[in-house]
Amino acid sequence: MRLPVGRAATAASVILVAACSSTPAPQPTPAPAATPAGAAGRPQQGATPAGQPPAQRPAGGPPGAAAAAGEPAPKPYKDVITDKARSRAGLFKTHMVGSKLYFEIPRAQLDREMLLVTRGAAVPLDAGYAGQQIGPSRVVRWEKKGDRILVRAVSYVTTADSASPIYTAVRNSNLDVILGAFNVEAYGPDSAAVIEVTRLYTAPPNEIGPGNRFRGTPDAARSFIERVLSFPRNVEVEATLTFPPPPPGGTPTPATPGGLGNQAPVSGTASIVLHWSMILLPEKPMMPRLADDRIGLFTLTQLDYGRPEQRAERREYIVRWRLEKKDPHLALSEPVKPIEYYIDPATPDWLKPYVRKGIEDWQPAFEAAGFKRAIVAKDAPTKEQDPDWSPEDARYSVVRWLPSTIENAQGPNVHDPRTGEILESDIYMYHNIMNLQRSWYFTQVGHLDPRARQWPFPDSLMGRLVQFVVAHEVGHTLGYQHDQKGSATYPVDSVRSRTWVAKMGHTPSIMDYSRFNYTAQPEDGIAIEDLMPRIGPWDKYITRWGYTPIPDATSPDAEWPTLDRWSREQDSIPWYRFNLSDSRGADPGDQSEAVGDADPVKATGWGIRSIRQIVPLLIPATVQEGKSYDDLEQMYGRLIQQWARELGHVAIIVGGADAQEKYGGQKGVRYTPWPRARQKEAVAFLNANAFATPTFFLDPVILRRIEVEGALARINQAQVSVVGTLFNDRRLERLVEFAALPGARDAYPITEFLADVRGGVWGELKQGRVTFDGVRRELQRAHLNLVRTKLNPPPVQVPAGVPAGFAQQLQPARATSDVKAALRADLRALDAELAAALPRAGDAIARAHIQDARDQIRDMLEPEGRRGR
């Protein structure tokens, strides 16, 4: 029994910008309570016999309906499965008779639950990449109804113990959708039903189709079964579908979770090869393990009506592989079935050893859970060794290498929605992940590793970087979320200690967005290898929590006391702690792309020292004889982004509260506001480092090689991102609330905050002779623009699919809050300073700037309509 209802990240998390979208594979969606085929308003399936150009692909109409329309009249087996049939035994016996595909379904496989996973085996240009999963995987069941076979999509959103009285009511309030209906064409030995399923694949229902980027109905003449392979526990089918050009003016469709690439309809005629894997779900479902918000594992949620609690209970279970000890008596035993990852044959040969290392780097973590060699890497068999092997086959987990300019990687998983058991995972490594690794490594530790100042990097270096990314993605496919809190749980000075990082790394987890140790300085003597993230103490802890067998417990609830005890280790070991998912960006220790953020001011100070050492290395590291300056321009831009990102870590301190997830019985509160002094220190740091013009970037030797102009805009964009974070609405509201609550002793009042920022951004106004450099003038104007949007916020466009909690963070400050009043008061103070400074303006542009600022302030404080009232 889990206390209270969790908020752990369900398997469908939000995609983050950085190079790892942790979006797990689209999860088995609960079959929408879509109305069965042919419901009102939808043309009856089959109403469109093949060959007639349909207006719109009959949505949801089950294939085979045409045939199913007539009364089934099974014929003698040999008249259907003729001697020309190409047959193959397996989970279903499959027969290709000409271009028609038949399934011969043994009675033992009827009503069994199977997972259907759709992937693009070959895709048109600009429509995603070969190997990517399309849409959520679905649980299906083949059911016999007279001389018909129905294939249904099964949902697990609501459950109840099948022995409980409410069970039937739960099932009836969540009817499984019919995806297809087929007449039995003949009966085989032991009266196995033989059905013709060609159109299930050559004109699939939306639920298992290529996604709504492909419009209309595939042209039957140019759509056909490519191959079918039946195996003992799965059936693999591949088909080519060709879609005629979409009608002119088709509207772009909303993003399909897990859909292929961007969502504009594919233009022109398009062919795609889809691969469907249908795997038998384990007969003996794995015993699920309850989830815990203190533990960073992906979860699935079921609403359980069969529970003793006097309400429908949201039960959250972790998503994990099924690891059972060969010898349960051994403290360290090999698993009955290890987690196996194949290395995609398409991977460049020189990288294969590093991909292998990235996979097996997790072995020590599983030893912490009592398993030896729990995860192993394998080379894919050659065609000679296994002609049937294919990376799309859902029995094989593969680290795919995709020919793409995307600078990213993904680690989705496919799991059993009944129990959370991970059945398979394909990791997507996009080719240009290497270019991103180059940028990160150079802009973060280029001053420490001379190898970073050449391009291409030595294989030993780029290989090691790819190994890191593979290990990170494998972490996701083991069920692990991003541990952004990790880097803030180490004492800040430890990340510059040679001995500490050699033992503990600079972050406790490879799942943290804490890439390379940019705080390190040459004098620290830190080993190059220790500048990189690796499997750390949090990774071992989370593996221990998720995978250690609890042999005496025969139910999820019986495991809970042990799990709760393991979670409470966090009270004494800070680096076992996990992000508090709904801290709404308030926790200065829950940051991405951060190192040493237990004290972002100190760490960013060191980071900027590193950046200043890297600027002079830009040209030697990127400019090559006879080559353009494109690399210089890209790396220069990315170094400035790194600067802005690190400064953003400091801005988060203002209105910040340390967050630690705790359950009843654990000492202390979940949120602890940061002291006023540290918030003031943060603003002072930003005034000196973010808002002071970073002249070290404005080197004409670089600028005049990459552009005729653009330096002001680039620096301004970086500074605006920092000011924007500082003036985030939730942050301003927290400043107000923290100061307003009874007993607030050490709060940082919003008025004081605004004055401190003003003092930095408009510091020149106190000078005897007032002049401003161009970067400063742009920054000051950006400050006014930002205040204007706070005083008159534009309507917020919340993109479709953004979770409510996240959408709420986008809302402007509540009209009733002190925020606007404080901003107006600060504008008046600024106006007074401007007025006082005008006579001391040192040049014409300074005078113009001061007057322009005053005009803007007047417009904000007394908009046209309100003047003179």
Binding site for Zn ion (CB under 5 A): 20, 22
Q: Given the complex with Zn ion, which of 20 and 594 has the nearer CB atom?
A: 20
**CA pseudo-torsion sign 114, 182, 44, 226:** positive
Work out how close the CB of 16 gets to Zn ion at its nearest, in angstroms, rounded to a whole number.
8
Q: Given the complex with Zn ion, which of 278 and 433 has the nearer CB atom?
A: 433
Work out how close the CB of 537 gets to Zn ion at its nearest, in angstroms, rounded to a whole number.
18
Tokens 């894919």 -> residue: 380
3-class DSSP assignment, residue 865? helix
Q: Minimal CA–CA distance to 419: which of 322, 554, 489?
A: 322
Work out how close the CB of 20 gets to Zn ion at its nearest, in angstroms, rounded to a whole number.
3
Q: Check: CB of residue 579 under 8 Å from CB of residue 590.
A: yes
Work out how close the CB of 473 gets to Zn ion at its nearest, in angstroms, rounded to a whole number.
7
Work out how close the CB of 664 gets to Zn ion at its nearest, in angstroms, rounded to a whole number.
31
Q: Given the complex with Zn ion, which of 594 and 757 has the nearer CB atom?
A: 594
Work out how close the CB of 428 gets to Zn ion at its nearest, in angstroms, rounded to a whole number.
12
Q: Minimal CA–CA distance to 593: which of 553, 652, 550?
A: 652
**In angstroms, rounded to a whole number, what is the distance separating the alpha carbons of residues 516 and 531?**
5
Work out how close the CB of 29 gets to Zn ion at its nearest, in angstroms, rounded to a whole number.
22
Q: Given the complex with Zn ion, which of 475 and 655 has the nearer CB atom?
A: 475
Edge-to-edge strands, sheet with 177-187: 86-88, 93-97, 100-105, 193-196, 177-187, 148-154, 138-145, 113-122, 270-280, 234-243, 224-231
HSE, side-chain direction, 13 A CA sphere, residue 500: 15
**Residue 55, C-beta contacts closer than 8 angstroms, at least 6 positions apart:** none
**CA pseudo-torsion sign 546, 550, 551, 557:** negative
Work out how close the CB of 548 gets to Zn ion at its nearest, in angstroms, rounded to a whole number.
24
Q: Given the complex with Zn ion, which of 20 and 761 has the nearer CB atom?
A: 20
Edge-to-edge strands, sheet with 409-410: 375-379, 339-343, 397-402, 426-430, 409-410
**In angstroms, rounded to a whole number, what is the distance separating the alpha carbons of residues 225 and 273?**
9
Edge-to-edge strands, sheet with 158-159: 158-159, 299-304, 313-318
Phi-psi map region of 868: left, alpha, beta (phi>0 left; psi -120 to 50 alpha)? left
Q: Check: CB of residue 445 under 8 Å from CB of residue 595.
A: no
Q: Minimal CA–CA distance to 136: which of 154, 162, 157, 118?
A: 118
Q: Given the complex with Zn ion, which of 67 and 470 has the nearer CB atom?
A: 470
Q: Which amino acid is at 684?
A: A
**In angstroms, rounded to a whole number, what is the distance separating the alpha carbons of residues 507 and 603?**
13
Q: Given the complex with Zn ion, which of 150 and 414 has the nearer CB atom?
A: 414
Work out how close the CB of 437 gets to Zn ion at its nearest, in angstroms, rounded to a whole number.
14
Work out how close the CB of 262 gets to Zn ion at its nearest, in angstroms, rounded to a whole number.
21
Q: Given the complex with Zn ion, which of 474 and 683 has the nearer CB atom?
A: 474
**In angstroms, rounded to a whole number, what is the distance separating the alpha carbons of residues 418 and 416?**
5
Q: Check: CB of residue 719 under 8 Å from CB of residue 691.
A: yes
Work out how close the CB of 410 gets to Zn ion at its nearest, in angstroms, rounded to a whole number.
8
Q: Given the complex with Zn ion, which of 105 and 511 has the nearer CB atom?
A: 511
Work out how close the CB of 476 gets to Zn ion at its nearest, in angstroms, rounded to a whole number.
6
Q: What Cα–Cα distance (Å) separates residue 475 from each residue in 455, 467, 683?
A: 29, 12, 37
Alpha helices of 55-109 — where are they, by DSSP H?
A: 65-69, 77-80
Work out how close the CB of 18 gets to Zn ion at its nearest, in angstroms, rounded to a whole number.
8
**In angstroms, rounded to a whole number, what is the distance separating the alpha carbons of residues 322 and 287?**
9
Q: Given the complex with Zn ion, which of 80 and 409 has the nearer CB atom?
A: 409
Q: Given the complex with Zn ion, which of 597 and 633 has the nearer CB atom?
A: 597
Work out how close the CB of 479 gets to Zn ion at its nearest, in angstroms, rounded to a whole number.
13
Q: Given the complex with Zn ion, which of 19 and 618 has the nearer CB atom?
A: 19
Work out how close the CB of 17 gets to Zn ion at its nearest, in angstroms, rounded to a whole number.
11
Q: Given the complex with Zn ion, which of 354 and 513 has the nearer CB atom?
A: 513
Q: Given the complex with Zn ion, which of 138 and 476 has the nearer CB atom?
A: 476
**In angstroms, rounded to a whole number, what is the distance separating the alpha carbons of residues 452 and 549?**
44
Q: Check: CB of residue 457 under 8 Å from CB of residue 442.
A: no
Q: Given the complex with Zn ion, which of 230 and 437 has the nearer CB atom?
A: 437
**Residue 533, C-beta contacts closer than 8 angstroms, at least 6 positions apart:** 468, 472, 505, 506, 507, 509, 510, 512, 514, 515, 516
**In angstroms, rounded to a whole number, what is the distance separating the alpha carbons of residues 110 and 152?**
11
Q: How far apart are the first and last CA of the chain?
A: 63
**In angstroms, rounded to a whole number, what is the distance separating the alpha carbons of residues 328 and 106?**
36
Q: Which amino acid is at 757?
A: V
Work out how close the CB of 9 gets to Zn ion at its nearest, in angstroms, rounded to a whole number.
12
Rg (CA), the chain: 30
**In angstroms, rounded to a whole number, what is the distance separating the alpha carbons of residues 493 and 761?**
30
Q: Given the complex with Zn ion, which of 564 and 590 has the nearer CB atom?
A: 590
Task: Give me the count of residues in the chain.
Answer: 869
Work out how close the CB of 805 gets to Zn ion at its nearest, in angstroms, rounded to a whole number.
20
Work out how close the CB of 436 gets to Zn ion at its nearest, in angstroms, rounded to a whole number.
13
Joined tokens for residue 801:
């699919």
H-run or E-run covering 702: helix 700-706
Q: Given the complex with Zn ion, which of 476 and 731 has the nearer CB atom?
A: 476
Q: Given the complex with Zn ion, which of 20 and 194 has the nearer CB atom?
A: 20
3-state secondary structure 365-403: HHHCCCECCCEEEEECCCCCCCCCCCCCCCCCEEEEEEC
Q: Tell me which residue has its CB nearest to Zn ion.
A: 20
**In angstroms, rounded to a whole number, what is the distance separating the alpha carbons of residues 525 and 841?**
49
